[in-house]
Structures are given as structure tokens and as C-alpha cells.
Amino acid sequence: MKINEIKANIFNIDIEEKLQKGQTISFEDVLKEYINDVNTSEKQATYAEKLFMEGKTDNVAEVMYYLQKASLSLSLMVEIRNRLENAYQEIMRMQV
């Protein structure tokens, strides 16, 4: 059984499709797409762990790959959130 069979579409945003149609892509679209990717990575890691614990897969390297991918994706997401929060605070401190 392959671990990468799981897919999640929370926001149903396809950036490439919007580009082909000539529509504009907002920062919100990109951020939502990345959040969706992080969620998918987390689900794949959970699924990989489940399969490994149940003995349905013996490919430890693949399981570790999905766990590390999910960990790095979440770390990057947290860093993006921190940077956005810092930028917002900096803007709020500006005098008009």
C-alpha cells in the first residue's frame, strides 16, 4: 500500500489554473494553498505512522521521509506566521 495515496483539498484553490485563465493571484490564495499543503503533509505523516504501526508497510525510510517532510513544513509555516506577525506589528508602530 502506498502512503502518498492520501490527498486533501480544503480550499480547492489551483493557482496554475488561475494563471492559465489570466486571473490575478492574491497573497491570500498562495497562503491558503500552502496551508493546504502543510495539512496534506501532516495527514500523510499520520497515515504513514498508522500503516507502520499496523505492520502494513515495512519501509521505514518512507515513513521517516513523510514525518520529516511534515515537521519541516510545519516549522516553515510557523516561521511564516511569525514573520507576518512581526511585519504587522512594525506597520502598526509607524506614525502617519
pLDDT tens-digit series, residues 65-94: 999 999 999 999 999 999 999 999 999 999
Residue 62 forms part of a structural domain: yes
Cell numbers found for residue 57: 508497510
**Residue 5 within a domain:** no
Please tell me the pTM assigned to this model.
Answer: 0.72
Cα 65 vs. chain centroid, distance in angstroms? Answer: 15
Span 36-49, mean pLDDT? 93
Contact 62, 48 (CB under 8 A): yes
Domain that holds residue 45: 12-93
Give the C-alpha separation, 50 to 56, whole Å: 9
Do the domain assignments include residue 19? yes
Q: Is residue 1 part of a domain?
A: no
- Residue 19 to residue 35: CA distance in whole angstroms: 19
C-alpha span between 96 and 94 (Å, rounded): 6
pLDDT at 5 (0 to 100): 54
Instruction: Specify the pLDDT at position 10.
Output: 41
Q: Is residue 7 part of a domain?
A: no
User: What is the number of domains present in the chain?
Assistant: 1
Q: With contact defined as beta carbons under 8 Å apart, do 52 and 91 qualify?
A: no
Residue 4 inside a domain? The answer is no
Residue 2 maps to a domain: no
Residue 60 lies in a domain: yes
